[in-house]
């Protein structure tokens, strides 16, 4: 079996020079590097990854820590990260945070023991202590969402505010809705707060009053959406359409509306946010804000590898990904 000594002997250079050339070290002269690469190819030499990692101090592994592993939304983001990692000859380690405490312990474990070359974090919120830890560590880190919360960390996220604002404005101006309810996510969640702000700003800019009785938290779950919608439908005065801040809560609305023997969209409309797999198959098809979830994962991974591969400190970047509309049968037709 051909080894690095064979390549060094034929190229008439040291083993260290071969190692540096194969690892694209700039200290090796271009003509020497080209000669070594040519000989390595002719000899069909494959570097020992374990040995190379010991030399370069790299593990060729990145970690992705997110709230949960299951569900269409998270699975699609994982797919985007894994695609870029695979093309970069890296392994992806996925971990679920479950809770704030577990998030801190899991992240610190990776940071302190140098088990990975970089970390992607997808978290609903972070404590001040955790922000300080991340901001003052040398391990490359990218946070998905939370631009305002992590000014010193590279972030990738969707434009939650604009996506909501555009959808609500469309419901008012193009579909003619004037009574809009809101089933929101948890108050501590970054995405949820931005979507609520987009909802309220769209109402204000279109001179539509906000009925606080029609605003209820649903916890981003199907059950939470069902319970919140049931509370709204129990009121004497009801909205014409309910904007649920994610598709899972919108699916819960379908269950509640059915239990009240009401029709979608004739009696009440439903709108979601995310455009997960489920939204394509419930009846009627859900009108929702489209989120390019795979692209979120891809962009986060690209930004992380930009840090990993840079020999100099890179400037902080905050990448925002635009959303779109999916118009289904859960809202009425455009006004005439």
Full pLDDT tens readout for the chain, 336 residues: 677 888 888 899 988 888 778 776 777 888 898 898 898 888 887 665 545 554 455 778 898 888 766 677 888 999 999 999 999 889 998 877 655 556 556 666 666 655 788 889 887 666 666 667 666 677 888 988 765 566 678 889 899 999 999 999 999 999 999 999 999 999 888 889 999 999 999 999 999 999 999 999 999 999 999 999 999 999 999 999 999 999 999 999 999 999 999 999 999 999 999 998 888 889 999 999 999 999 999 999 999 999 888 767 778 888 889 999 999 999 998 654
Question: By the 8 A CB rule, do 289 and 164 touch?
Answer: yes
d(CA 51, CA 285): 54
Residue closest to 216 by CA, chosen among 192, 251, 247: 192
d(CA 202, CA 165): 5
d(CA 71, CA 86): 22
- Cβ burial 258-294 (10 Å sphere, 16+ → b, else e): eeeeeebbeebbbbbbbbbebbeebeeebbbbbbbbb
> What was the pLDDT predicted at 236?
95
pTM of the model: 0.76
Phi, psi of 290 (to 5 degrees): -80, 125
Residue 333: CB atoms within 10 Å: 11
Q: How big is the chain by its Cα radius of gyration, in Å? A: 25
d(CA 185, CA 244): 8
Identify the three-state secondary structure at position 30. helix
Cis peptide before 139 (omega within 30 of 0): no
d(CA 103, CA 123): 9
Question: By the 8 A CB rule, do 204 and 143 touch?
Answer: no
Q: How many CA atoms lie within 13 A of 159 on its CB side?
A: 11
Cis peptide before 265 (omega within 30 of 0): yes
d(CA 63, CA 196): 31
Q: Note the CATH architecture for domain 160-291.
A: 3-Layer(aba) Sandwich (3.40)
The string of DSSP codes covering 173-218 is HTT----EEEEE--TT-HHHHHHHHHHHHHHHHTT----GGGEEE-
d(CA 263, CA 265): 6
Query: Would 4-56 and 160-291 be classified into the same CATH topology?
Result: no
> What was the pLDDT predicted at 54?
46
Q: Which residues contact 183 (CB under 8 A, 6 or more apart)?
A: 216, 217, 218, 224, 225, 228, 229, 232, 242, 243, 244, 245, 249, 253
CA-to-CA dists, residue 240 to 3, 51, 224, 268, angstroms: 73, 65, 20, 5
Where are the domains positioned within the chain? Answer: 4-56, 61-157+293-321, 160-291
Residue recorded with tokens 């590898």: 305
Question: By the 8 A CB rule, do 293 and 80 touch?
Answer: yes
d(CA 192, CA 291): 14
Q: Could you tell me which CATH number the domain at 4-56 has?
A: 1.10.260.40
Question: By the 8 A CB rule, do 62 and 107 touch?
Answer: no
d(CA 203, CA 194): 14
Cα 18 from chain centre: 40
> What was the pLDDT predicted at 147?
57
Q: Please state which CATH class domain 61-157+293-321 belongs to.
A: alpha beta
């Amino acid at each position: 079996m051909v080894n690095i000594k064979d390549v060094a002997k034929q190229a008439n250079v040291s083993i260290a020079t071969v190692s540096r050339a194969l690892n694209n070290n700039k200290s090796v002269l271009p003509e020497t590097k080209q000669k070594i690469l040519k000989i390595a190819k002719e000899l069909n030499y494959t570097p020992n990854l374990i040995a190379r990692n010991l030399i370069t101090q790299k593990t060729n592994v990145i970690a992705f820590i997110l709230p949960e592993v299951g569900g269409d939304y998270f699975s699609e983001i994982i797919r985007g990260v894994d695609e870029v990692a695979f093309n970069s000859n890296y392994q992806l380690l996925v971990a679920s945070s479950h809770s704030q405490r577990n998030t801190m312990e899991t992240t610190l474990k990776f940071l302190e023991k140098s088990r990975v070359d970089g970390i992607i974090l997808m978290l609903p919120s972070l404590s001040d202590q955790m922000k300080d830890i991340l901001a003052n560590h040398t391990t490359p880190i990218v946070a998905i969402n939370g631009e305002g919360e992590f000014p010193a960390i590279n972030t990738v996220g969707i434009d939650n505010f604009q996506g909501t604002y555009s959808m609500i404005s469309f419901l008012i101006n193009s579909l003619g809705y004037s009574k809009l309810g809101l089933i929101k996510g948890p108050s501590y969640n970054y995405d949820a707060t931005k979507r609520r702000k987009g909802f309220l700003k769209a109402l204000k800019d279109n001179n539509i009053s906000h009925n606080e009785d029609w605003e209820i938290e649903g916890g981003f779950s199907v059950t939470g959406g069902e319970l919140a919608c049931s509370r709204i439908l129990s009121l004497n005065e009801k909205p014409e359409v309910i904007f649920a801040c994610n598709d899972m809560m919108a699916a819960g609305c379908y269950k509640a509306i059915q239990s009240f023997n009401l029709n979608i969209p004739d009696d009440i409309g439903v709108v979601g946010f995310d455009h997960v797999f489920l939204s394509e198959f419930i009846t009627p098809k859900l009108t929702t804000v489209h989120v390019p979830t795979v692209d979120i994962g891809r962009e986060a991974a690209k930004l992380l590898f930009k840090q990993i591969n840079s020999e100099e400190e890179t400037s902080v970047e905050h990448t925002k990904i635009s959303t779109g509309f999916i118009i289904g049968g859960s809202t009425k037709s455009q006004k005439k």
